Amino acid sequence: MRDRVVVITGASGGIGAALARLVAREGGRPVLAARRERELEDVRASCGPHALAVVADVTRRADVQRVLDRAVERHDHVDVWVNNAGRGITRLVSELTEAEFDEMIDVNLRSALFGMQVALAHFKPRRRGHIINVSSMLSRVPYVPWRSAYSAAKHALNALTASLRLELRAEFPEIHVSSVLPGVVATEFGVRALGGGPDSRTLPNSQPVEDVAGIIAELIEHPRAEVYTQPGHRQQVVGYFAAEDMADVESRPPFMAARPAAPSSR
């Protein structure tokens, strides 16, 4: 990790902030991007003198390009680009509005597409680099029906990630493209979801954010296509897709009811 320049979107809190601090502790040079200026500056200050913060809305291509430009201006190059920005939703499919669906696509998918394309244009001349897309276990197994459009956007992100990996494999074998699939993580994800929702930090088996950051850091050191952050998740995915009738699997825990147990008005 020492001296590696790591761009992290969605770095003002949660997984992104924890990863930025870990990269800094291990001698890397984190470049933090997010919309919330005050929170972003707080994280940057906790990362030491080599950290750079860039206030940006990564649903805008020009802002994503500006993040890269600032990173290159400061550090000459970028080694790793982590597309971590995202937002949840608490809406059933039957309730989704067009605006809500568009926001899920913009924040969870379009922002990552811009990140991949901007990073790739920088990595190709150098013939090396690493793109990491933070997806979700819900992209593989839709346990929670009221996360509908979030799950759909992350499912699409997995497809883009794999497609880019295949695109680059022959000509650019040293440009790695990876997916990270967390389950429930102890962050503000739930309460900040569009439509509110249960606080992820209070849910059973929520994973400490530092654990997820550590897994991403390990992935940076040892690239591979895909990592799950909790034991047993890969086997749950295999079991779901291998089932003769998925509906039978969906009738049992850990699949959830159609409504969140503790909806929030926030």
Known catalytic residues are 150
User: DSSP H helical segments within the chain, as ranges?
Assistant: 14-25, 37-46, 61-75, 98-105, 111-126, 148-168, 209-221, 233-242, 246-250
CB atoms within 10 A of CB 92: 14
- N- to C-terminal Cα distance for the chain? 39
Q: How far apart are CA 163 and CA 157, in angstroms?
A: 10
Cβ neighbours of residue 266 closer than 8 Å, sequence gap 6 or more: 191, 196
